[in-house]
Amino acid sequence: MILIADCHASARHDNEDEFFACLERLAQTRHDVVFLGDILDFWIALPGYEHELHRRFLSWCQAESQRRTVGFVEGNHEFFLAHSHGAAFSFCSADEHVDAAGRLFVHGDTVNAADRGYLRFRRVVKCPLIRWLEEHTPGATAIARMIKRRFEVRGRQWPRHFPEAQLDAYAQGWFDRGVQALYLGHFHQGRVIERPDGRVVQIIPAWQHDGLVGVLDGPGRVAEIRPWRELPVP
pLDDT tops 70 at residue 141: no
Go through the chain and tell me how many residues it has: 234
Note the pLDDT of residue 128: 72
Average pLDDT over residues 126-131: 68
**How far is it, in rounded angstroms, from Cα 230 to Cα 88?**
27
Note the pLDDT of residue 64: 99
- CATH class name, domain 2-112+162-230: alpha beta
Gap between the terminal Cα atoms of the chain: 15
Note the pLDDT of residue 147: 67
Note the pLDDT of residue 137: 64
